[in-house]
Structure 1
Amino acid sequence: MLSQTKNLKTKEKSRTNQILIWTESSNPPKFDGLVFLWNLYQKSTKEIISIPYELEVNAFFFRERYLNLIDKVSNIQIHKKDIDSYFRIDDTFSLWWMNLSFEKNYGKSDLFSNSIKLVVLEYYLEEIECSLVKLSQPATKELVKYLTLRFKKVSFLNLTYIDYNNRFKHILGLRKIKSILPYFLLGLISIFRYVKFCGGINFRSNHSQDLAEKLYIYDYFFHLLIEENESEFKSAYWGTLPNLINRNQIEVTYSHIYVPSKTFPTIQVAKKKIDEFNQIIDSKVKHKLVEQITISVLWQVIYHYIKFSLIYLFCVSFRFKPLLHKKELRPSLYLWNEIKDSMLGSIAVQNLFTYFTIKNRVETATKNAILVYLLENQNWEKVLVYHWKKVISKKIYAVTHATVRFWDLRYSFRMNLSGFRQNECKPEKIVYNGPLSKKGLLDFGYKEEDLVPGEALRFLGLETLRKNKIQSKQNPIFLVFTDYLFSVSKFQLELLESLHLPYRVIVKPHPACPIDKYNFPNLNFEITMEHSDTLLKTASIVFTSNVTSAALEAYYLGLPVISARDPKEVNLSPLFGVKDVHFVSSKEELKKSIETIEKDGIRSKRNPVFFTNSNLEKWKKILNVSIVLFYFGNMI
């Protein structure tokens, strides 16, 4: 596992004539001053500080600083009132709790990695005075804007200078109106776009009470394991758990959050499949989609959106952004557009729809029922847990369906974050699927008493695969799993080019990101879409992208794992910090890692990752205990 913070450079009050922030992936030119490498991984020195390197060797330190920053922003006060009180939807729950920056979702936010990098930069700049900051190209508009606000003089290398401070020369009131109108108009447009996305308005009543269900499961309508004409529900999220539920005749309702996919490109197609699931005779299982827009929901969204927009304009806008200029909050200026969008833009609209559709769904549930849902700390989960505790019961189980990545900050639990101060949105129990997830949850702030073990439902087949694994020594296979983003896959495959490996190179692209051999003429490789179980049986070395869970599967099977560390992003590998896993950012590092594996093999005993008992003994205990409590509660 990751060691504690080390090798942090001692900061001294110093003055330098100029600083260069180098955002390119190539080596910087000679420079008379301090250089910060934004997208280049190498060991830091006195003259050159590599931000990606600092996020590796001092990961705990900078993760904590970033989370503290988010906590402080979430608890800002305006006119001696907590900002969340301005955005109350009901007596307690606030739209402010659903801010995209507080969700810390790397999949939703384009600013996620760079905002964390900025915290590293700010740490080293705290005790430095300089007369000039130079910024190379390319650079994000958010970084440009931040530096022009942060420093008096900024010079841009091959970059058109934009004077953000003086962009509007009009009177204060006109400037504020101009700044709000685009967000407000985009928000109004997004109301109608979201209704269309959800298949229009449902004019049927949504408040028919469920009379018998003892168990409710919330997940995504995604990763379904069904054939085209099959009507039995199978999901990669839940593995064989539905079979266990069916065998024990447990009455259950699955509520699915729709996610567009190749199989279900529109919500209308998804609804047809839901109808097929519900047509099974004598089944005690029901399936529903969360996205049901009624006239009442639409009216509530419009009313609250206009209300909060006016509150922002007249009570918040004049005071909020200046507060972020304080030294301890300054890096959050980088997230300003994201924060603002969550208060009065399209993000605010989406969050309001989420609030009222989830609220309506919970109000139809059976009193004292059990809730099981996928844990990612996304906004819909906050709403779900809040209302379930308030209306139904406290028997709430959040499930870690993969593992807890070090830099996947969605999993962080902070009592100081608005929305968690009184445990309003915290599940009663979290089901962890192995020692690796447990350690990650404890590191993120959960307590031992919050956690219960459960089998890793997505990875139950790994135990059988490990027993049947075979490896070809005559024709060794270098197996590559690429990413869902082409830029990340491109970075990964370019590391392989021109290495001339003595392996048969097989590439499995992500289903959402096809790979064309034409784009990599210097790499001799095969492309396959075979299931990863089949491919891992014969692999000698596995080379993965940053995020993919295939790295976990390979590690569990005892295979050598190399992961591409793209310096443009934080290291989101599920194996970050785990011993005997190689992370590479250059061809030289990749070549050295392959040579080390060929020479030394697996250098340490592999730590256990998942619980993979196919009998689901741990899950039986969870459900049996819960059901006993249910009956006992009714008897009382």
Structure 2
Amino acid sequence: MEGRGEVREHGGVGPSMLLVDRYQPSLEPPHRGVQVVRWDGLSGREGEIALSLRLERDDARLRQRLYELIDRMGESVVAACAGIAPEPLDGLSFWWLGVVAEKDIHQLPQLEELMRCWALAELVREGGYRDVEIRLSSPSARAAARGVCERLGLTVRGAAGRRWRRLSLRAGFDRLPHTLRALIFLGRYLWRRRALFGYPTAADGALDAQAGEKCGLGVVGYFPNFDPGAAADGVFRSRYWGGLHELLEGAARPVDWLLLFSPSAQCPDGAAFRALLDRFNLRRAGDGRGRQRLVPLDGFMSWGGVVAVLARYLRLWRSAGTIRRRLRPLIAGLDREVPLWPLFGDAVGRSLRGVAAMHGLIAAHLFARMASARGGGEAGYLYLRENQPWERAMLHACRRAGGGELIGVVHSKVRRHDYRQFNAPGYWDGVGRPGGCPEPDRIAVNGRGARQLLAAAGVPEGRLVDVEALRYLYLPALKRTSRHPGGAGSLLVLGEISAAATEELLEMLAEALARFRLEIGVMVKPHPFCPLDEPLARLGLVPSVEVVGGALEALWPRVGMVFCGNTTAAALESAYLGLPTIVARPVDGFNVSSMLGVPGVRFVGDGRELAEAVRDPESPRLDPDFFFLDRDLPRWKRLLDIH
């Protein structure tokens, strides 16, 4: 290998490397000739090298390389497993419902570890290092980094780095065998959702032409994230779909709202969800809006369906050993610098025998039953596009059943570092081939920002269609045109879906309030799936902060400025309104915020910087056409042929 020979020219005379992560911050000053390299985080001492800064510098090139590798891996795996891997649905590979194909950094942090390995390989070649000591806490990162250095001719030594973790049920669950985790997941699914089994038949009659009229538009989205005030009156209003509800009701279109249920504080289980659905559907039938029905996707499950899912899981489980033996050398050989199996081997196991496998099989069963019951849905489907596994199951099932156009709707901002949204150049040329990854017929983009990013990433112009940003239609009425004076409102802290990321926000807040004597009213809005009672109490923030819920639209008049995490999409709303917006830098040092490049947005890394940003606020300046925000919805009307 070229890199290997390049490094060996310096053997015996080049410097040594000490590779550490952020969990090893207390390092003695290294001996002369030892270069400290930070795997994540930023440099702790002068002279250290931070790989995070190299990732930011070479971001576009490394992301492109990642997309090319994942696309090539998908094609290779599907071809290699043809005939030996049971399919969740005929013609749909297990791979497209698995962890790697989703490209979600939260589910697969090894994607970022891979890019760090590429940056490490370039650094080794540039520096002519002769040996390396590795102190990394992540087993996958440690194995991959070791492989990189060995391939490049370095002598490798080192033990596992230390990382203290608080004991938790989640940490214990993650240490269980994949099969046991999958069965526990199925048990939780049955316990929480069994009350929904068979609901479409019980509530509305069969969802097909026999119900009295041809099936109308299918709209697939999530529940909860609904308006509880409207729900109290028996009216369903999803915050994802906003003004589309009124548009479809005014046009008297038959619509099935097909809902993916996720337990939350508002609606903790299937029984509570069923009670809400009964209220919604009875109200619609009573006031003449019965042509719109609310249908839980879990209503297409039955106890016979559970047996069918278990049977498919058993067939996949039995073939997992053969599949892994075939995939290990295939995946390992896809990159000449980085040994890929330490990074992706566990994800393959999760996709064959773990929670991802069980989740994919359940989704495949539900959408196959739904598409069959609706007779294909000639009016087509809208769905929230995030490139999640259930979307592939839905697209494949609906195409098999026949019917209308399938349109994926961008419901928030397309973030440059949301790997789920992007592919390598040329990917779309192969969409539609047998065995390939299912994709929508068109993608509805909600503004100039989303259109430009997706078009630049290779999505054909003919597949993009402009629509209004339904979640953000209220913003123009609240838009603030002048600099907002500091201290005129509370600091709103927006929690993230990740408990760890949210806790880092709260730790910075606690430090700013206590150590740097920051005096301001503070409201904390938890993410619906990440309650904050325990960390708020542990950090001593109760009762000094106010925990708030509900829609952001109702909170903005009370807000003077916003503090949020690195991946929080709601920062866009505060930036559009001109509210001073403060974003936390990630602890790993690799800034992936959607606010990067927006003038006036402040990034902070500790309590001192947060206190300074609050005391000296600055209003951000966002492109006014970033979202399409015409409340009359002319673009949606054209798309849905509503006059």
TM-score where L is the length of structure 1:
0.81
- Matched to 2:414, the amino acid is V
Q: Which residue of 2 aligns with 1:60?
A: 60
Rate the CA distance shift 1:385–1:128 in 2: closer, same or farther, 3 A: farther
Is the Cα contact below 8 Å between 1:97 and 1:418 reproduced in 2?
A: no
**CA-CA distance at 1:607 after TM superposition:** 4.8
- What pairs with 1:11-160 in structure 2 (closer than 5 Å)? 13=7, 15=11, 16=14, 18-24=16-22, 26=25, 28-31=27-30, 32-42=33-43, 48-76=48-76, 81-83=79-81, 86-89=84-87, 90-109=89-108, 111=110, 113-125=112-124, 132-136=131-135, 139-147=137-145, 151=150, 153-156=156-159, 159=162
Q: Which residue of 2 aligns with 1:543?
A: 563
**CA-CA distance at 1:345 after TM superposition:** 2.4
Q: Which residue of 1 aligns with 2:350?
A: 341
**CA-CA distance at 1:253 after TM superposition:** 0.3
User: Of the candidates 452, 457, 470, which is equivalent to residue 457 of structure 1?
Assistant: 470
Q: Which residue of 1 aligns with 2:167?
A: none
Is the Cα contact below 8 Å between 1:369 and 1:392 reproduced in 2?
A: no
User: Of the candidates 505, 530, 536, which is equivalent to residue 492 of structure 1?
Assistant: 505
Is the Cα contact below 8 Å between 2:481 and 2:578 reproduced in 1?
A: no
Q: Which residue of 1 aligns with 2:168?
A: none
- What pairs with 1:188-199 in structure 2 (closer than 5 Å)? 190-199=185-194
C-alpha separation between the residues in 2 aligned to 1:238 and 1:476? 29
Is the Cα contact below 8 Å between 1:213 and 1:251 reproduced in 2?
A: yes
Is the Cα contact below 8 Å between 1:201 and 1:294 reproduced in 2?
A: no
C-alpha separation between the residues in 2 aligned to 1:534 and 1:357? 36
**CA-CA distance at 1:247 after TM superposition:** 1.1
**CA-CA distance at 1:215 after TM superposition:** 0.7
Per-residue CA deviation, residues 210-265 of structure 1 (Å, 9 max, x unaligned), is 44222110001120112463311111101121111111100000111111111111
Is the Cα contact below 8 Å between 1:482 and 1:508 reproduced in 2?
A: yes
Q: Which residue of 1 aligns with 2:281?
A: 278
Range moving further from structure 2, 29-38 or 197-206: 197-206
Rate the CA distance shift 1:30–1:256 in 2: closer, same or farther, 3 A: same
- Matched to 1:66, the amino acid is L
Q: Which residue of 1 aligns with 2:360?
A: 351
Per-residue CA deviation, residues 565-584 of structure 1 (Å, 9 max, x unaligned), is 11337544332343442323
- Matched to 2:81, the amino acid is I
- Matched to 1:243, the amino acid is E
Q: SS in structure 2 opposite 1:562?
A: strand
C-alpha separation between the residues in 2 aligned to 1:311 and 1:524? 55
Q: Which residue of 2 aligns with 1:446?
A: 459
Q: Tell me whether 1:371 sits opposite 2:381 in the alignment.
A: yes
Range moving further from structure 2, 403-412 or 538-547: 538-547
**CA-CA distance at 1:91 after TM superposition:** 4.5
C-alpha separation between the residues in 1 aligned to 2:486 and 2:15? 58
- Matched to 2:532, the amino acid is P
Q: Which residue of 1 aligns with 2:422?
A: 412
Per-residue CA deviation, residues 70-126 of structure 1 (Å, 9 max, x unaligned), is 223223369xx5335533525421111112111012344455544544443344346
**CA-CA distance at 1:475 after TM superposition:** 4.8
Rate the CA distance shift 1:236–1:350 in 2: closer, same or farther, 3 A: same
- What pairs with 1:256-295 in structure 2 (closer than 5 Å)? 256-279=259-282, 280-281=284-285, 282=288, 283-291=290-298, 292-295=300-303
**CA-CA distance at 1:510 after TM superposition:** 1.4
TM-score where L is the length of structure 2:
0.80
Where do 5+ consecutive residues of structure 2 fail to align? Answer: 164-175
C-alpha separation between the residues in 1 aligned to 2:106 and 2:160? 31
Rate the CA distance shift 1:117–1:545 in 2: closer, same or farther, 3 A: same
**CA-CA distance at 1:209 after TM superposition:** 1.9
C-alpha separation between the residues in 2 aligned to 1:85 and 1:123? 40
Q: Which residue of 2 aligns with 1:634?
A: none
Q: SS in structure 1 opposite 2:19?
A: strand
- Matched to 1:435, the amino acid is R
C-alpha separation between the residues in 1 aligned to 2:541 and 2:75? 53
Rate the CA distance shift 1:241–1:284 in 2: closer, same or farther, 3 A: same
User: Of the candidates 548, 561, 573, which is equivalent to residue 529 of structure 1?
Assistant: 548
Q: Which residue of 1 aligns with 2:245?
A: 242
C-alpha separation between the residues in 2 aligned to 1:192 and 1:517? 31
C-alpha separation between the residues in 2 aligned to 1:417 and 1:18? 45
Is the Cα contact below 8 Å between 2:428 and 2:459 reproduced in 1?
A: no
Structure with greater proportional helix content: 2
Rate the CA distance shift 1:337–1:158 in 2: closer, same or farther, 3 A: closer
**CA-CA distance at 1:406 after TM superposition:** 1.4
- Matched to 2:548, the amino acid is M
Where do 5+ consecutive residues of structure 1 fail to align? Answer: 1-10, 161-180, 629-636
C-alpha separation between the residues in 2 aligned to 1:341 and 1:225? 35
- Matched to 2:626, the amino acid is V
Per-residue CA deviation, residues 388-422 of structure 1 (Å, 9 max, x unaligned), is 23323351221111111111111114554999463
C-alpha separation between the residues in 1 aligned to 2:560 and 2:417? 28
Instruction: State the identity as a percent.
Output: 21
Rate the CA distance shift 1:349–1:157 in 2: closer, same or farther, 3 A: closer
Is the Cα contact below 8 Å between 1:187 and 1:345 reproduced in 2?
A: yes
- Matched to 1:357, the amino acid is L
Per-residue CA deviation, residues 569-617 of structure 1 (Å, 9 max, x unaligned), is 754433234344232334565567668x65xx55867453212222212
Rate the CA distance shift 1:21–1:438 in 2: closer, same or farther, 3 A: same
Q: Which residue of 2 aligns with 1:172?
A: none
- Matched to 1:445, the amino acid is G
Q: SS in structure 1 opposite 2:232?
A: coil
Range moving further from structure 2, 575-584 or 187-196: 187-196
- Matched to 1:612, the amino acid is L
User: Of the candidates 514, 520, 523, which is equivalent to residue 504 of structure 1?
Assistant: 520
Q: SS in structure 1 opposite 2:468?
A: coil
User: Of the candidates 210, 215, 218, which is equivalent to residue 216 of structure 1?
Assistant: 218
C-alpha separation between the residues in 2 aligned to 1:561 and 1:520? 23
C-alpha separation between the residues in 1 aligned to 2:162 and 2:641? 63
C-alpha separation between the residues in 1 aligned to 2:632 and 2:475? 14
Q: Which residue of 1 aligns with 2:532?
A: 514
Q: SS in structure 1 opposite 2:158?
A: strand
Is the Cα contact below 8 Å between 2:490 and 2:523 reproduced in 1?
A: no
Q: Tell me whether 1:310 sits opposite 2:326 in the alignment.
A: no
Range moving further from structure 2, 31-40 or 286-295: 31-40
Is the Cα contact below 8 Å between 1:397 and 1:429 reproduced in 2?
A: yes
Range moving further from structure 2, 368-377 or 459-468: 459-468
